[in-house]
Amino acid sequence: MTAERRRPKSKSSAKPRAEELTLTIDRIDDDGLGLATHAGKPVVVFDALPGEKVVVRVVHAGRHRIVASTQRVLQPSHDRIAKTSCPHYRACQSCALLSWKYDTQLACKSTRVADALAAYPSLLEVALNEVWAAPETLGYRASAKLVVARKRGKAQVGMYRRGSHDVVDIADCPLHHPLINRIAAVVREELDRRNISAYDANHRRGLLRYLLVRVSPTYDKAMVTFVTSERNYREVTHLAKWLQRKVPEVISIHQNVNSSSGNVIFGRETFKVLGTPDLIDKVGDVRLRLGPTSFLQVHHAQAARIYRLVRDWCDLQADESVLDLYCGVGGISLHLASKAHQLLGVETVAEAVRHAQANANMNGFTNCKFVAGDVEIILADDLPLTGKLGAVVVNPPRSGCTPQVLTAIATLQPRTLVYVSCHPASLARDLALLVEQGFRVDEVQPVDMFPQTPHVENVVRLTFALI
């Protein structure tokens, strides 16, 4: 029998090797990624500092831009640190500035704010203060939204890789509060021990989708929410009991049911599984009762500084009232209440309003009223506010305020307006509109709420100049 000759594999059948390029980084974008040019196209590079010469691997070559990741640094910047504090840094890519010296991170954030303001001629002379550095640059995140998946049969609890739906298992995130990492480790262990299914978005099957953890650094307690694809009492209860046994600091466990096929984390229904219905925390001078879906700034020390600054800048007199728009659970509101004749908080999320009122009661404030609804619509009606309006505070979502909201605020003619923002571009746009409405921008205070990332918070004091 003649042996069959094996044909060599054609080169075309082998998996093509990712292209490598040698680039010099010109600058960074708003996401903290390096920018260079190759063959007339912009190249976006993860882990590259301005001025560096790097060898990059092309991740995606699109029609209009190239996405790449640094493989080797040929000429490092003096602002690069020798070794990052996270073994998952290159796989996860969530913390774009982790390889930067901290002083350089602050300078980068200051430049980002300055560039946003400089896009508007009316803001060119605005006083921009130095960025407030964070006292904790690692271990500061008091809340986390972790994705659950399985790879080759092993449970994964971590983050989506930047720009993808590939889950990177994060064993010990250096930005998370240590209690979050402990909880994630126990959940991962139990998922494997009991072989609990993780949700597969491609096939739309599996139980557990997300693990949400909120920690009170003040009291060292935690609330956990399991987001599942269906209401499953047995598996979730077993998981909850195991978690409380292994991590007794977990005092509140909920299940949220999200049966949708999209990327929204929360579904409409939330059920308490074990423990208390809420988590009590303290930020600055006030105690706060938080639910599973409550929003609160992730860096407690920096949030407390912002709350105090807002109170100082409002400088309320005993006969003056204050309006707090997009008030959330009342963190800023309750710092203002001690100085105000009356405080009126407005928030679109009804659950947050319920928590805000409960928080006012818990802190002993009787001069607070909170209203749920669309901010623009509520401002168009007669506000249930007594006393002279001394100040307005706005802390809108990333997209900023609508022009209608800004016009309505100007119509109220408050002595002082304090704007808290998490996005420099939308902030600058809104400040320019407020100047047109008769306000003067007195000063901008950037705050580093998110060390190791390009994000920067800003607090702005404005005065109504036409009074």
Give the active site residues. 422
- Euclidean distance between CA atoms 245 and 420, whole angstroms: 40
* Residue 227 · residue 266 · CB < 8 Å: yes
What is the DSSP-derived secondary structure letter of residue 170? Answer: -
What is the DSSP-derived secondary structure letter of residue 177? Answer: -
Backbone angles phi, psi at 450, to 5 degrees: -130, 70
- Euclidean distance between CA atoms 422 and 401, whole angstroms: 12
> How many Å separate Cα 393 from the centre of its chain?
20
What is the DSSP-derived secondary structure letter of residue 121? Answer: G
* Secondary structure (3-state) at 87: coil
* Residue 275 · residue 252 · CB < 8 Å: yes
Strands 269-275 and 250-257: antiparallel
Pull the structure tokens for residue 65: 């831009």
Hunting for tokens 């590259």 — which residue is that?
A: 48
Pull the structure tokens for residue 376: 């623009």
How many CB atoms lie under 10 A from the CB of residue 111?
A: 13
> Quick one: the chain helix, strand, coil %, rounded to 5?
25, 35, 40
> How many Å separate Cα 91 from the centre of its chain?
20
- Euclidean distance between CA atoms 288 and 187, whole angstroms: 27
Q: N- to C-terminal Cα distance for the chain?
A: 103
How many CB atoms lie under 10 A from the CB of residue 364?
A: 9
Work out the angle between the directed axes of helices 403-412 and 424-436 (0-180°, nearest 10): 50
